[in-house]
Amino acid sequence: MRLLVTGGAGFIGANFVHYTLRRHPEHQITVLDALTYAGNEASLAPVRDSIEFVRGSVADAAVVDELVGRSDAVVHFAAESHNDNSLRDPSPFLTTNIIGTYTILEAVRKHGVRLHHISTDEVYGDLELDDPAKFTPETPYNPSSPYSSTKAGSDLLVRAWVRSFGIEATISNCSNNYGPYQHIEKFIPRQITNVLAGLRPKLYGQGENVRDWIHVDDHNSAVHAILDKGRSGETYLIGSDGERNNREVLSMILELLGQPGDAFDQVTDRAGHDLRYAIDASKLRDELGWKPQFTDFRDGLAATVDWYRDNEAWWGPLKKQVEAKYAAQGQ
């Protein structure tokens, strides 16, 4: 299978490339990545000789057309992915998430190539803390931020191209991922690297917001299950029952790094901060027989802490700039 992986130098995309080559060394992989601030070629260094890497934008129709034309399937990870950045400057979110997805759709339509579109549970908005409900494929879209609204828009484009033009495509909406190679602007790696760099972790507001954590390899095994057995036009929700509030996750990080439980700062809350996400993944489990492998969050988190401890060369050069950006807005 010739796979085109967009955004393959980012967190989940790079892990997808590693995961795929471990299990399917016969697959030919081309990565298309613009290497924005979030992309890092070093994340692909261990497999660099086994893949083709093309630096370019998913919004560049000529590049996309050429690459899609010589692929059997496209797995579309490329996106602007950080909520806080979307509050500072929404513009690249529209270009990459909306126009980029439109550009991919036109190319797969022209060449008759299968698409799997990677999306997020944030398209559904948020849930109350005491609500027993979880997101299902039937939950109405209700995104809160510029990031999640552009992801919602991209999902709707995919659905429209399936219905109006008959393209072969699936969509997955996953909850919060953790694991190696995640950019240090994100919650878990930011707090781990703060401690490792001698800075205090930063908790937004009261830290009561709940995220449904899943290990990135479980996300990617689900993507493979969908590529293998998913039905065209369908949406699959990916999650592994990992609900925890931010305070609990931070306490675990502090404990794993041998810090006192109160060694953190509470900082300005995120504007429009979604309260809780929770995924009902029963369609994926029941129809496709998928199950997560990382069922103990503490073990997965401990391995992630070890990875950042062992890979300072990967994140160290970014730290000062990332923290300066947060400090400028009191976070």
| Among the listed residues 190, 219, 224, 276, the single contact to ligand DAU using CB under 6 A | 190
In 173-197, which positions are buried (b, 16+ CB within 10 angstroms) versus exposed (e)? bbbbbbbbbbbbbbbbbbbbbbbbe
Instruction: Tell me: does residue 204 bind ligand DAU (CB under 6 A).
Output: yes
Instruction: Tell me: does residue 291 bind ligand DAU (CB under 6 A).
Output: no
E-assigned strand segments in the chain? 2-6, 28-33, 51-55, 73-76, 114-120, 169-174, 177-178, 202-204, 210-212, 214-215, 235-238, 243-245, 265-267
178 counts as catalytic: no
- How many residues sit close enough to ligand DAU to count as binding (CB under 6 A)? 19
Instruction: Tell me: does residue 77 bind ligand NAD (CB under 6 A).
Output: yes
Nearer to ligand DAU, 103 or 191 (CB): 191
Instruction: Tell me: does residue 83 bind ligand DAU (CB under 6 A).
Output: yes
Pick one of ligand NAD, ligand DAU, none as the site partner of residue 34 (Cβ within 5 to 8 A by kind).
ligand NAD
CA distance 51 to 39: 16
Decide if 34 contacts 53 (C-beta within 8 A).
no
Identify residues 136-165 at the interface with ligand DAU (CB under 6 A): none
| Among the listed residues 11, 19, 294, 308, the single contact to ligand NAD using CB under 6 A | 11
122 counts as catalytic: yes
Instruction: Tell me: does residue 118 bind ligand NAD (CB under 6 A).
Output: yes
> 122, 185, 243, 274: which is the annotated catalytic residue?
122
Q: Are strands 202-204 and 265-267 parallel, antiparallel or unpaired?
A: parallel
- CA R_g for the chain: 19
* Interface positions with ligand NAD (CB under 6 A): 6-7, 9-13, 32-36, 38-39, 57-59, 77-81, 96, 100, 118, 120, 151, 174, 176-177, 183
